[in-house]
Amino acid sequence: MIKPHGSNTLKPLLVKDAEENRALAAEAEKLPSLLLNSAAAANLVMLGGGYFTPLKGFMDLSDALAVAKTMHTADGLFWPVPVLNLTSDVRGIEGASRVALRDPNVAGHPVMAVMNVDKIEPVTDKQIETITRQVYGTVDPAHPGVAVFSKLGNYCVSGKVKVLNLSYFEKDFPDTFRTAVEIRREIEKRGWEKVVAFQTRNPMHLAHEELCRMAMERLGADGLVIHMLLGKLKEGDIPASVRDACIRKMVDVYFTEGTVMVNGYGFDMLYAGPREAVLHAIFRQNMGATHLIVGRDHAGVGNYYGPFDAQTIFEAAVPEGSLEIEIFAADNTAYSKKLKKVVMMREAPDHKPEDFVALSGTKVREMLGQGIAPPAEFSRPEVARILIDYYQLEDAPAAKRA
């Protein structure tokens, strides 16, 4: 089975021993507290579940700047995106060597983790700008990832953590949320050796479904893990519960039983394009996947990145031997009216734009909101029905929705 990144074994930071967990929770109630922002809480979930192996906690400023500039920590570990605990107010934890980290996304702000504080460092606006430009490729405040990152705060609180719980994800998504530990264990149980991972923050239309099938067939894969993001997205994106229902319906009806796992992970979307694609590869390697599908504009938003920047970064900026996971580089997929099947557009050089069934996201949303299913060449009818119900509910008056 593929090894975790930078380690021979997975290193989840979630405290599973019940007695130790209780003792840490009791201690935490007496410690100074820091209320996290959602980005830091999401990092804790990924650290706790083993997705961020081999990290032991939050990076300090030196590591953050090194990662931003060179995609390596100060001690040489390959890593594409700083894993930070930024805050705007440290008055309650100044001088503390050990603090309780509290969850911003759960009522009552329960303790998520106990942290040994290595450093509390001020971060200058120039350093924030440096990290932003390197990771996101822009400092445009209209970029949703930049907008969030630029407001997280100018203090970096670093150190090792022991995670006590995984926030709301286990409760809200009991059938879907899985740690890297759990997915790796299930892959091993199924005896899969070659495993394809598909990243998604959207429902899957026919082209996505066929792309997964193409990857499995061309790689000779034993199985597919459809791995959806369950954390915070930008305004207007479809909620995780709706995406989950769409994907499960598609898998149940159209894939051979036992060949696909549908799972999710608790992270907030960064929209960081190429850098985020590399991060996606790292934590998919940690969960046991041998291949990650990287398609057109993977993890992108708007026009901030070139259509294939998330593929070329693996050739141009990832040193040989840094990752064991391999990339399945994909083009846009669409239904060909000529061939009467879904194809990668680059593999149909004799086609003109009108030879494909292509619909804009805006057009699809309009159709769904009006109760009209997109053509069968674009979306499975069972998936369209779920989305129609969602969009019509969204467009209904508040009183009707209640």
Task: Calculate mean pLDDT across residues 26-47.
Answer: 98
Band of residue 395 on the pLDDT scale cut at 50, 70, 90: low
- Is 105 assigned a catalytic role? no
Extended beta strands in 24-169, E state: 33-35, 57-58, 86-87, 98-102, 111-116, 119-122, 155-163
Task: Calculate mean pLDDT across residues 38-59.
Answer: 98
| 8 Å CB contact between 204 and 383 | yes
Give the residue from 16, 164, 21 showing the smallest Cα distance to 101: 164
pLDDT tens-place string over residues 361-377: 778 888 988 999 999 99
Residue 397 is predicted with a pLDDT of 41
Residue 358 is predicted with a pLDDT of 83
Residue 398 is predicted with a pLDDT of 38
Q: Extract the tokens encoding 212.
A: 């997964």
Please give the helix or strand (H or E) that residue 18 lies within, else none.
helix 18-28
| 8 Å CB contact between 61 and 86 | no
List helix spans (H) across 194-332: 206-219, 240-254, 273-287, 309-316
The domains located in the chain, with CATH, are: 18-170 (3.10.400.10), 175-395 (3.40.50.620)
Residue 402 is predicted with a pLDDT of 27
Q: CB neighbours of 350 closer than 8 A, spacing ≥ 6?
A: 338
Residue 276 is predicted with a pLDDT of 98
Residue 369 is predicted with a pLDDT of 87
Q: Is the per-residue pLDDT at 26 higher than 50?
A: yes
Residue 401 is predicted with a pLDDT of 32
Q: Is the per-residue pLDDT at 124 higher than 50?
A: yes
Instruction: State the catalytic residue, choosing from 21, 116, 154, 202.
Output: 202
In terms of Cβ atoms closer than 10 Å to its own Cβ (0-12, 13-18, 19+), residue 132 is buried
- Is 201 assigned a catalytic role? yes
Q: Extract the tokens encoding 253.
A: 């009806």
Percent of the chain at pLDDT > 90 equals 89
Query: Which residue reads 């915070």 in tokens?
Result: 232
Residue 400 is predicted with a pLDDT of 34
pLDDT tens-place string over residues 83-96: 999 999 999 999 99
Length of the chain measured in residues: 402
Instruction: State the catalytic residue, choosing from 98, 185, 190, 201.
Output: 201
Q: CB neighbours of 312 closer than 8 A, spacing ≥ 6?
A: 274, 306
Q: CB neighbours of 328 closer than 8 A, spacing ≥ 6?
A: 196, 215, 218, 219, 291, 292, 293, 294
pLDDT tens-place string over residues 207-245: 999 999 999 999 999 999 999 999 887 777 788 899 999
> What is the β-pairing status of strands 98-102 and 356-357?
unpaired
Band of residue 399 on the pLDDT scale cut at 50, 70, 90: very low
Percent of the chain at pLDDT > 70 equals 98
Give the residue from 242, 246, 245, 301 showing the smallest Cα distance to 275: 301
Average pLDDT over the chain, rounded to an integer = 94
